[in-house]
């Protein structure tokens, strides 16, 4: 069990109270000042937004371990320079000229894939069952909502549900053309494991051992397709053979078309962004 204290590095304004409220919501301890924290990690309101930080050693700035930024960094770059429906993620999700499927990202994580799909014009619902990751996503979405018009437009197409996607998919109103799954990669995938971010997420959320079950449920509910991101090479999730796959250098998208989709298209048309 990782020990985390909720705090604000901004000593004034609304943030100290927001830290207390978030601590109560997540059932975590709160502190008035980062210097008072004794846990190895801090979930902190900072000038750059809500971040998971290593506890600062004396005289050193705290180091961010997990932070979501839809406006700058990698997401901001992709928004400005890689917003094309020809990219593998877009094709795997069923985006085509004049067609923007409704999408459930059932494994939202840090929201990078969902944000790309929303920036291409899709309405995307994200499910994230880790309350801590959901809090980081929620904060990043509100910051993006107040940013440049492109980031704000994409954020306006995203809805966050801080719940287990399996519970959401059991509800009758949960109907989506595409359901997208990107569960944690198996432990043996060293290239992903070596990345500090993936290690941090894994230490918070575990291994997603139930993702085969999530795939089965998603395949019963998706109107057009279920797309699963997998490391390359690796077996198919739940040993279920896909309709086709889209390959990239170190990963691939396994696409499971719904039975009726193999013969017709039900995609609503909407203008590209």
Ligand X SMILES: C[S@@+](CC[C@H](N)C(=O)[O-])C[C@H]1O[C@@H](n2cnc3c(N)ncnc32)[C@H](O)[C@@H]1O
List the structure tokens of 205.
Answer: 């959320």
Is the backbone peptide bond immediately before 248 cis, with ω within 30 degrees of 0?
Answer: no
Q: Shortest gap between Cβ of 39 and ligand X (angstroms)?
A: 21
The closest of 263, 182, 256 to 220, measured between CA atoms, is 256
Q: Shortest gap between Cβ of 235 and ligand X (angstroms)?
A: 17
Binding residues for ligand X, rule CB under 6 A, total 22
Spatial neighbors of 33 by CB under 8 A, at least 6 apart, are 7, 11
Closer to ligand X by Cβ: residue 37 or 154: 154
Residue of minimal Cβ distance to ligand X: 109
Closer to ligand X by Cβ: residue 42 or 184: 184
Angle, helices 73-81/112-119, rounded to nearest 10 degrees: 20
Closer to ligand X by Cβ: residue 122 or 214: 214
CB atoms < 10 A from the CB of 58, how many? 5
CA–CA distance, 8 with 21 (Å, rounded to integer)? 11
The answer to whether residue 205 forms part of the interface with ligand X (CB under 6 A) is yes
Span of 47-55, 86-94, 124-132, 246-254 interacting with ligand X by CB under 6 A? 124-132
Span of 56-64, 122-130, 220-228, 259-267 interacting with ligand X by CB under 6 A? 122-130
The answer to whether residue 76 forms part of the interface with ligand X (CB under 6 A) is no
Which one of 30, 42, 90, 201 is in contact with ligand X (CB under 6 A)?
Answer: 201
Span of 10-18, 123-131, 239-247, 251-259 interacting with ligand X by CB under 6 A? 123-131
Euclidean distance between the first and final Cα of the chain, in Å?
A: 43
Please state, in angstroms and as integers, the Cα–Cα distance from residue 219 to each residue in 68, 77, 155, 235, following that order: 30, 33, 27, 18
The answer to whether residue 130 forms part of the interface with ligand X (CB under 6 A) is yes
Annotate each residue in 88-117 with x if it binds ligand X (CB under 6 A) or - if it does not, as one string.
------------------xx-xxxxx----
Q: Shortest gap between Cβ of 258 and ligand X (angstroms)?
A: 20
Give the DSSP H/E element, type plus range, for residue 259: none
Instruction: State the number of CA atoms in the 13 A half-sphere of 33 facing the CB.
Output: 2
HEC string of 18-35?
A: HHHHHHHHHCCCECCCHH
Q: Shortest gap between Cβ of 66 and ligand X (angstroms)?
A: 10
Interface ranges with ligand X (CB under 6 A): 106-107, 109-113, 127-130, 133, 164-166, 182-184, 201, 205, 208, 214
């Amino acid at each position: 069990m990782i020990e985390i204290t909720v705090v604000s590095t901004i000593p004034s304004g609304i943030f100290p109270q927001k830290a207390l409220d978030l601590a109560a919501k997540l059932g975590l301890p709160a502190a008035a000042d980062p210097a008072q924290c004794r846990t190895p990690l801090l979930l902190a309101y900072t000038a750059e937004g809500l971040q998971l930080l290593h506890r600062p050693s004396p005289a050193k700035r705290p180091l961010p371990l997990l932070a979501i930024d839809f406006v700058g960094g990698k997401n901001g770059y992709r928004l400005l320079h890689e917003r094309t429906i020809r990219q593998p993620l877009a094709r795997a999700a069923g985006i085509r000229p004049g067609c923007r499927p409704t999408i459930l990202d059932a494994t939202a994580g840090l929201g990078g894939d969902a944000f790309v799909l929303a920036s291409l014009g899709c309405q995307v619902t994200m499910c994230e069952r880790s309350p801590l990751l959901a809090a980081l996503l929620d904060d990043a979405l509100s910051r993006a909502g107040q940013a440049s018009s492109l980031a704000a437009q994409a954020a306006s197409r995203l809805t966050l549900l801080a719940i287990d996607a399996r519970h959401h998919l059991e509800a009758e109103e949960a109907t989506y053309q595409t359901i997208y799954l990107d569960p944690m990669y198996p432990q043996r995938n060293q290239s992903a494991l070596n990345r500090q971010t993936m290690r941090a997420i894994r230490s918070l959320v575990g291994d997603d051992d139930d993702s085969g079950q999530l795939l089965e449920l998603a395949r019963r509910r998706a109107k057009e397709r279920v797309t699963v991101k997998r490391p390359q090479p690796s077996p198919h999730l739940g040993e279920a053979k896909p309709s086709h796959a889209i390959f990239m250098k170190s990963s691939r998208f396994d696409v499971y078309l719904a039975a009726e989709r193999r013969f017709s298209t039900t995609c609503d048309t909407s203008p590209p962004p």
